[in-house]
């Protein structure tokens, strides 16, 4: 298949499938499932793939699927996450969540549906002998936990994969736009708990105690400042406290205290060194107050660092699928995304899929809120971009680095 034929073939495919894909997305939206409990979602996707003649395999936990299309040649993976958030759906729409306390408030139903649509199109191409390699579909559970990406990697989901791509809904971008960025696009996100203990006592005699409230105040204020002098400022290192607790009476110095927060950064090296630096600084801060410090540093996800060549392929793919006007810059985010675990193993890139209706009136429907919704035309855009990204990478992989551009002069940006 020549690259210049792809937009017409995708247009014809979506003319037949768009309404069915919207219906599928709405069904998922009405029946959200939380991390590692996505049984119905997995079954619904599996049924569609098997009906297309494909052979998806469930992950050992019972949720999530890996499905190969084609064989031989280079291999490109496409990821779609399938889990929902523990939020109440607050929208007044016919497809509102029917599950109390669960909602697709991050667009994973769109990611899943777009990946399904891409898989159905690519399976047609494979049957027609027009797939120059293999595409692996990763319907990943538990992105929000996180943990699903590591589960995929642990069972060999990236074995033999040369490159991996994914999309994530972005309500800051208009529907029809795709945001791209080389380098860090999302941050590492870890959880930190600092627990102080020591002899308490009366506030009239602080010298006979370990004044844990004062010591905790030092930790809360001095630790973020000290980190800014121990880590390269270009790493985007951020420690923000979310809970501070100590004592129960105004005239009693407690014998325990705790501060909890998140540590985020955009640099992979800084992320790997963060636990040791944090623990060292906590000991330094509380050392003069006679308190004992226990640091519980819980790893979350690494920063998602887009590889330059993969972003270039995505840029070419977006230009081919949607036109150069669809390309948009996107800022770094300090939010976490477990797609980062894939990029620890193979090159790849995450793109942002615009979901904001161009004619919308009122505030942006932001992610992780019960009011979140999308312009459903984004589903078709997602299908186009995923297909084009996979084929762009496969065409180039099949040609080799010295081969002539199969799309023709000027077809790629």
- Model pLDDT for residues 78-89, shown as the tens digit of each residue: 999 999 999 999
- The reported pLDDT for the residue numbered 411 is 32
Q: Does residue 187 have a cis peptide bond before it, meaning omega lies within 30 degrees of 0? A: no
Share of the chain above pLDDT 90, in %: 89
Query: What does the DSSP assignment read for 217-276?
Result: HHHHHHHHHHHHHHS-GGG--EEEEEEEEE-SSTTEE-SEEEEEEEEEES-HHHHHHHHH
What pLDDT score does 409 carry?
Answer: 35
* pLDDT at residue 364, as a whole number: 78
On the question of pLDDT at 413 being above 50, the answer is no
CA–CA dist 69, 129 (Å, integer): 11
**Least-confidence region, from 47-61, 171-185, 303-317, 361-375:** 361-375
For residue 322, give the 3-state DSSP assignment: helix
Question: pTM (2 decimals)?
Answer: 0.90
First to last CA, the chain: 19
Query: Distance (Å, rounded) from C-alpha 378 to C-alpha 360?
Result: 14
Give every CB contact of residue 345 below 8 A, 6+ residues apart in sequence: 153, 158
Above 90 in pLDDT, residue 406?
no
Q: Report whether 388 contacts 128 (CB < 8 A).
A: no
Q: What angle do CA 54, 390, 350 make, to 5 degrees?
A: 115
Nearest to 196 by CA among 320, 291, 61, 116: 291
Instruction: Work out the widest C-alpha separation in the chain, in whole angstroms.
Output: 84
Average pLDDT of 32-58? 98
What number is the average pLDDT over the span 190-215? 95
The band of 2, judged by pLDDT with boundaries at 50, 70 and 90, is low
pLDDT at position 3, please? 73
pLDDT at 412 over 50: no
- Please determine, for residue 401, whether its predicted confidence score (pLDDT) is greater than 70: no
Q: Does the structure show a pLDDT above 60 at 51?
A: yes
Residue 204 pLDDT class (50, 70, 90 cuts): very high
The span from the CA of 305 to the CA of 269, in Å, is 12
pLDDT band at 400 (very low <50, low <70, confident <90, very high): low
Q: Which residue has the tokens 């942002």?
A: 352
The predicted pLDDT at position 383 comes to 98
- Pairing outcome for strands 134-140 and 57-58: unpaired
Q: What's the rounded mean pLDDT across residues 172-177? A: 96
pLDDT digits (tens, 9 = 90+) for 245-286: 999 999 999 999 999 999 999 998 999 999 999 999 999 999
What average pLDDT does the segment 23-32 reach?
98
The number of helices, as runs of H, and strands, as runs of E, in the chain is: 9, 16
Say whether pLDDT at 397 is over 90. Answer: no
**pLDDT value of position 146:** 80
Q: How confident is the model at residue 402 (pLDDT cuts 50, 70, 90)?
A: very low
* Confidence bin at 361 (pLDDT 50/70/90): confident
Does 294 have pLDDT greater than 60?
yes
| Token reading at 367 | 């992610």
C-alpha distances in Å from residue 126, one per residue of 27, 117, 166:
28, 14, 21
Indicate whether 96 pLDDT > 70.
Answer: yes
Backbone torsion region of residue 72, taken as left when φ is above 0, otherwise alpha when ψ lies between -120 and 50, otherwise beta: left
Q: Which residue has the tokens 């390269």?
A: 232
Q: Would you say residue 197 has pLDDT above 60?
A: yes
Measured distance CA(140)–CA(337) in Å, rounded: 12
Query: Average model confidence (pLDDT) for the chain?
Result: 93
Asked if residues 95 and 89 have their Cβ atoms less than 8 Å apart, the reply is: no
């Amino acid at each position: 298949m020549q690259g210049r034929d792809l937009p017409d073939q995708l247009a014809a495919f979506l003319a037949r499938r768009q309404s069915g894909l919207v219906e599928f997305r709405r069904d998922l939206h009405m029946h959200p499932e939380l991390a590692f409990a996505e049984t119905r979602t997995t079954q619904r996707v599996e049924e569609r793939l098997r009906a297309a003649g494909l052979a998806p395999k469930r992950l050992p936990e019972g949720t999530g699927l890996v499905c190969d299309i084609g064989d031989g040649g280079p291999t490109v993976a496409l990821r779609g996450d399938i889990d929902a958030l523990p939020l109440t759906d607050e929208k007044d729409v016919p497809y509102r969540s029917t599950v109390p306390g669960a909602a697709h408030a991050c667009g994973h139903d769109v990611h899943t549906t777009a990946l399904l649509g891409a898989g159905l199109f690519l399976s047609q191409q494979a049957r027609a002998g027009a797939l120059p390699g293999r595409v692996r579909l990763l319907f990943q559970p538990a992105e929000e936990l996180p943990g699903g990406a590591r589960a995929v990697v642990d069972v060999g989901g990236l074995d033999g994969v040369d490159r991996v791509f994914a999309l994530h809904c972005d309500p800051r971008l208009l529907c029809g736009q795709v945001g791209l960025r080389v380098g860090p696009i999302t941050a590492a996100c870890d959880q930190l708990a600092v627990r102080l203990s020591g002899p308490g006592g009366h506030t009239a005699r602080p010298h006979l105690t370990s004044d844990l409230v004062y010591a905790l105040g030092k930790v809360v204020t001095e630790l973020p400042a000290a980190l800014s002098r121990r880590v390269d400022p270009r790493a985007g290192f951020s420690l923000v406290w979310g809970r501070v607790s100590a004592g129960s009476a105004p005239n009693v110095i407690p014998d325990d205290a705790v501060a909890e927060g998140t540590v985020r950064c955009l640099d992979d090296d800084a992320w790997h060194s963060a636990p040791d630096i944090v623990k060292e600084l906590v000991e330094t801060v509380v050392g003069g107050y006679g308190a004992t410090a226990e640091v519980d540093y819980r790893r979350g996800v690494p920063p998602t660092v887009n590889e330059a060549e993969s972003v270039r392929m995505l840029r070419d793919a977006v230009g081919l699928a949607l036109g150069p006007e669809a390309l948009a810059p996107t800022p770094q985010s300090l939010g976490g995304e477990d797609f980062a675990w894939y990029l620890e193993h193979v090159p790849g890139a995450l793109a942002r899929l615009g979901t904001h209706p161009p004619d919308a009136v009122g505030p942006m429907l932001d992610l992780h809120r019960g009011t979140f919704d999308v312009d459903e035309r984004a589903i078709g855009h997602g299908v186009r971009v995923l297909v084009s990204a996979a084929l762009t990478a496969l065409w180039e992989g099949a040609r080799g680095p010295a081969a002539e551009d199969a799309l023709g002069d000027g077809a790629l940006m």
